[in-house]
């Protein structure tokens, strides 16, 4: 009779053993995940980095003829509310005189409706020669002048004279409304 009992108890022992193995494995997997999560989470971008990834600029606060400088991703962004004379000068420039020719309109981002507002010029305020910050409303072309090595930029941010090889860069930006842009 004892042989009969051991034969019927054997499947129950295997079932208990399987349950213990599965439960132990599940607890070990949960423990490994709880230890790995902080290590993986710390590799993501910090909140201050995400916040600096884009900036919003209210163009209605910039008076005609005024320039504001904002910091975006550690670089200055110049936003210039150009006067009609500055726009006319930028549009009438002979591109053959420019080391890096570009139409003024190609340096402007269209609004959602496809129209372009030539009054506002948005660009990264870094000289393309060695990365200095040019001075606004200065130089031979009434645009920007880099005091480090003497590059001159016109009212469209195009290099006109000096060692700079390229025009000042236009950042990626979009119009959120008629008066607010989002850079980045």
pTM of the model as a whole: 0.70
For tokens 């606060």, the residue is 61
User: Residue 158: how many CA atoms within 13 Å on its side-chain side?
Assistant: 24
Q: Which fold has domain 49-183?
A: Rieske Iron-sulfur Protein (2.102.10)
Say if residues 81 and 68 touch (Cβ distance below 8 Å): no
Say if residues 178 and 170 touch (Cβ distance below 8 Å): no
Helix or strand holding residue 39 (H, E): helix 2-41
| Residues forming the active site | 149
Could you read off the pLDDT of 50-63 as tens digits, one per residue? 665 889 999 999 99
Q: Which residues pair with 136 in a beta bridge?
A: 144
Query: 167, 164, 168: which is closest to 147 by C-alpha?
Result: 164
Could you read off the pLDDT of 98-124 as tens digits, one per residue? 999 999 999 999 988 989 999 999 999
């Amino acid at each position: 009779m004892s042989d009969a009992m051991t034969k019927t108890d054997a499947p129950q022992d295997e079932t208990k053993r399987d349950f213990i193995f599965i439960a132990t494995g599940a607890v070990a997997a949960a423990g490994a995940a709880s230890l790995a999560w902080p290590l993986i989470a710390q590799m993501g971008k910090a909140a201050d980095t995400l916040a600096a990834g884009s900036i919003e600029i209210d163009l209605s606060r910039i008076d005609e003829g005024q320039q504001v400088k904002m910091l975006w991703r550690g670089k200055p962004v110049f936003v210039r509310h150009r006067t009609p004379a500055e726009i006319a000068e930028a549009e009438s420039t002979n591109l053959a005189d420019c080391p890096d020719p570009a139409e003024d309109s190609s340096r402007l981002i269209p609004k959602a409706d496809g129209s372009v507002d030539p009054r506002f010029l948005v660009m990264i305020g870094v000289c393309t020669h060695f990365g200095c910050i040019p001075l606004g409303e200065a130089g031979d072309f009434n645009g920007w002048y880099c005091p480090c090595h003497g590059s001159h930029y016109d009212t469209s941010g195009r290099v006109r004279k000096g060692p700079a090889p390229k025009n000042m860069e236009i950042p990626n930006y979009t119009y959120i409304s008629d008066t607010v842009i989002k850079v980045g």
